[in-house]
């Protein structure tokens, strides 16, 4: 499964908006490059992602959007929308997120495969280099 070959979703329903209140969208290494190139480096942080809901107990080291004090994504604005949508910069797992994933157990397998694919992307040379550069302040 290639993340970039999957159908991108765009929905503004309450379920989809609520996703932004509990966790930022997880980015691919390419997403992080694009976010930094567009001036958003200050809104990113070196992170270790774990999601026990989907069985990811081993952390995935990555550069990801910061989380605000209220637990929402730093890009989730006061209009309850993502600042990155209109710019075409929304991270890959946000682009692929679907409100039906939470309701349909058949979709859980797809969600898990997306997370595993993202983990593999961050372990590739490009992902490792982005993490090292970010850690070094580059």
Q: Which phi and psi angles does 82 have, rounded to 5°?
A: -90, 130
Please choose, from the candidates 4, 114, 108, 22, the residue with its C-alpha nearest in 3D space to the C-alpha of residue 65.
22
Query: What does pTM read for this prediction?
Result: 0.83
In the predicted structure, residue 6 carries a pLDDT above the cut 80? no
Q: How far separated are the first and last CA of the chain, in Å rounded?
A: 31
**CA angle, 72 then 19 then 83, to 5°:** 60
- The full set of domain ranges for the chain reads 3-135
In the predicted structure, residue 56 carries a pLDDT above the cut 50? yes
| Tens-place pLDDT, residues 86-118 | 898 989 888 877 766 656 656 777 777 887 888
Query: What is the predicted pLDDT for the residue at 21?
Result: 82
In the predicted structure, residue 27 carries a pLDDT above the cut 90? yes
């Amino acid at each position: 499964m290639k993340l970039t070959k999957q159908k991108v979703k765009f929905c503004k329903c309450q379920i989809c908006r609520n996703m932004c209140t509990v966790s930022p969208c997880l980015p691919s290494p390419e997403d992080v490059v694009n976010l930094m190139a567009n001036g958003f480096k200050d809104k990113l942080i070196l992170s270790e992602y774990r999601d026990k809901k989907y069985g990811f107990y081993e952390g995935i080291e990555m550069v990801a959007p910061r989380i605000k004090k209220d637990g929402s994504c730093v890009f989730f604005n006061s209009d309850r929308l993502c600042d990155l949508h209109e710019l075409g910069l929304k991270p890959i797992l946000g682009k692929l997120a679907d409100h039906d994933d939470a309701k349909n157990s058949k979709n859980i397998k797809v969600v898990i495969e997306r997370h595993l694919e993202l983990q593999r992307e961050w372990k590739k040379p490009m992902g490792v280099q982005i993490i090292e550069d970010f850690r070094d302040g580059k």
